[in-house]
Amino acid sequence: MSNPLITIAKTNLYELEVNQATNRLYSKAIGFWRSPEALADYLADIQKAIRLLKPNFQLLNDTSELLTTPSIVQEKVIYPSVKMIQESGLAVTAIVLPKEEISKLSTTRIAGEVKRQESKLAYFSDKQEAEEWLNSLLTA
């Protein structure tokens, strides 16, 4: 059986994949996002991924390996990417929280600061739980 995931980007800082069958965007953030320059292609890669999705898509945002991000990265990269994703028809978000406690607090704070437009948002400790929750919404 072939993998329905389409890889948009795979770098040392992030991975973006799309599953058109489930209308889902997979975003994985990795390591320390030091500066906006280190993520120069991120917003363009998000745009490429969104073009493959239909309105009311799901997002599985895996931040389990992300370290705390500087405010300049939040302002120049994270907030603009969230806005772009939301304005493109995001319906549901599952966030896999970082394992490291300070990063976990930072991620939930950032998620809380962003004006949420999706109908459902949930936090998980592992990707499998998040995937199962999103799949349950497809059949609901």
Quick check: is 3 in a domain?
no
Quick check: is 137 in a domain?
no
What is the extent of the structural domain holding 57? 9-67+77-126
Distance (Å, rounded) from C-alpha 8 to C-alpha 52? Answer: 10
Give the model's pLDDT for residue 100: 83
Distance (Å, rounded) from C-alpha 26 to C-alpha 7? Answer: 9
The CATH code of the domain that includes 87 is: 3.40.50.10600
Quick check: is 99 in a domain?
yes
Nearest Cα neighbor of 61 from 46, 75, 72, 41 is: 46
Give the model's pLDDT for residue 1: 46
Give the model's pLDDT for residue 117: 63
Quick check: is 42 in a domain?
yes
Q: Could you list the mean pLDDT of each consecutive 10-residue stretch along the chain, which spans 140 residues?
A: 84 98 97 96 98 96 93 94 92 91 83 69 94 89
Give the model's pLDDT for residue 14: 98
- Tell me the HSE value of 69 on the side-chain side, using a 13 A CA sphere: 29
Number of domains the chain contains: 1
Quick check: is 72 in a domain?
no
Give the model's pLDDT for residue 43: 97
